Amino acid sequence: PAEPRRAVLPGRSRARSRGAAGAALLPSMLMFGVILASSGLLLMIERGILAQVGPPPLHPPSGLSRRDGRDSPAELELEVLRDTRNRTIRALCGQRSMPRSVWELPPGQRRTVLRHLLVSDKYRFLYCYVPKVACSNWKRILKVLDGALESVDVQGKMDHKSDLVFLGDMKPEEISYRLKHYYKFIFVRNPMERLLSAYRNKFGEIKEYQQKYGVEIVRRYRKNGGNSVGDDVSFSEFLQYLLDEDVERMNEHWMPIYNLCQPCAVRYDFIGSYERLHADANHVLEHIQSPSFVRFPERQAWYKPVTAETLHYYLCNTQRRLIKELLPKYILDFSLFAYPLPNITSEFCRQ
C-alpha cells in the first residue's frame, strides 16, 4: 500500500532524531488515530462512555527521554501534542477513501476550502482562515503585508473581503502551483469553545445574525416563538439547530474546521493553536520572514473570551443527550487536533 501522507509540523525533525525513543509514543499517543481509523469512536459516543475521555496526556510517555536534559515541560508537552496531531492526521488521511488533493473533493467541498485559503504571493504562503479562531487579526496581518493597511492596530470595522486574495479566485494551474510550493498553515480551537464563542457573538451582538438565523431557530424549536426578534436564542436551541443542519450547508462560523480547511486534501505545514495563539503566530511570522514591525495584534480591551468556567457552565446546563448527539459532527476536529471531549458527567457538573 502507498505510504500514508504526513502533515509536517515543526518539532517533527527533532522527534525523528530521537530514533527509537521518538517512535515510542506508545499506545496512548496512538489512541486517537487507531480509534479514528475504525468506527469505534462513534459507537462509543452513542453508548455514552466517552464523557471523560480526553486526548493523550500532554507529557512525555515512558521511554521518551530528553535529548539534552534542557527541554522545558512546556516544550515537551508541545512536542507530544504535535506528534499526536501528526499521527491522527496520518491515520485518517492514509485511508484509501480519503481525498489526497483538492481536485479529488466534490465540487461543493472544493469551493469551500478554496474560498477559505488566503494567498500571499509576496511571502509565498497560504492561510486557511477559520472563523472564531482569531481570523480577523490574521486578515489584518495579510493586509499589512500586502501594503493595503498601514498597521495591525488601525481601528475600524474589519472588511473580510476587500484587499484579500482568495485561492478560489485563481485558475486551476495557479491553484495547484501554490498548493505545491507555498507554506500552508491553519489555526485550530477546541470545537465546543469555538461554538460557544460563535453563539455568544452572533446571537448576542450581531443583529444580522439574529434576524437571519435567530428568528428561524426560535420559531423552529420553541412553542409560541413567533414574536422573537432572534436575540434570545438559547444555547440548547442553537445546538439543536446545528444537530439538524447539514454540515456542508452550515455557516462558516460553526462549520467544522475539517470541512472548512480539508487537512487531508491540503497538506498543511503548520497547525497553530488558539491556546498558544501568540507563540504560534510568532512562529509563523518568523518562518515567512515578515518585517520586524509586523506583529500579531493584542486582544482588544472589549473582547470577552470564553473561559473554561464559562464553557463548563453552558455545557452543564445543556441536555447531555443533545451534546452527545452533536459530537459526531465535530468528532474529526476533536480527534485530529487532539482536543478532549467535553466532560458532562453529573459528578463533574455538580462541582
DSSP 52-82: T--SS-SSPPTT---SSS---HHHHHHHHHH
State the average pLDDT for the chain.
Answer: 82
At residue 301, the pLDDT reads 64
Tabulate helix, strand, coil % of the chain (nearest 5): 50, 5, 45
Average pLDDT of 115-143?
Answer: 96
User: How would you label 76-95 residue by residue, b for 16+ Cβ within 10 Å and e otherwise?
Assistant: eebbbbbbbbbbbbbbbbbe
pLDDT at 84: 86
**Spatial separation of the C-alpha atoms in residues 212 and 4, rounded to whole Å:** 43
Query: What is the pLDDT, as a whole number, of residue 60?
Result: 37
pLDDT at residue 31 above 80?
no
pLDDT in the model for residue 116: 98
Task: Return the biggest CA–CA distance within the chain.
Answer: 67
Tens of pLDDT, residues 5-16: 434 333 444 444
Element (H, E) at 234: none
Going by pLDDT thresholds of 50, 70 and 90, the confidence category of residue 271 is very high
Paired sense of beta strands 125-128 and 117-120, if any: antiparallel
Assign 192 a pLDDT band (cuts: 50, 70, 90). Answer: very high
pLDDT for res 1:
37
pLDDT at 53 over 60: no
Mean pLDDT of 186-212: 96
User: Which tens digit of pLDDT belongs to each residue from 310-333?
Assistant: 999 999 999 999 999 999 999 999
Looking at residue 304, what is its pLDDT? 78
Q: Which helix (H) or strand (E) holds 111?
A: helix 107-116
pLDDT of residue 83: 87
pLDDT in tens, 203-224: 998 999 999 999 999 999 998 8
pLDDT digits (tens, 9 = 90+) for 217-260: 999 999 887 789 999 999 999 999 999 999 999 999 999 999 99
* Least confident residue range of 39-53, 77-91, 272-286: 39-53
Closest CA to 317 of 238, 253, 246, 242: 238
Measured from the Cβ of residue 343, the count of other Cβ atoms closer than 10 Å reads 15
Residue 220's Cα: distance from chain center in Å?
Answer: 29
Which residues touch 45 (CB under 8 Å, ≥6 apart)? 324, 327, 328, 331
- For residue 204, give the nearest of 306, 116, 136 by alpha carbon: 306
Q: What pLDDT is attached to residue 156? A: 65
CA distance 84 to 27: 11
- pLDDT for 233 equals 96
State yes or no: pLDDT of 165 exceeds 90. yes
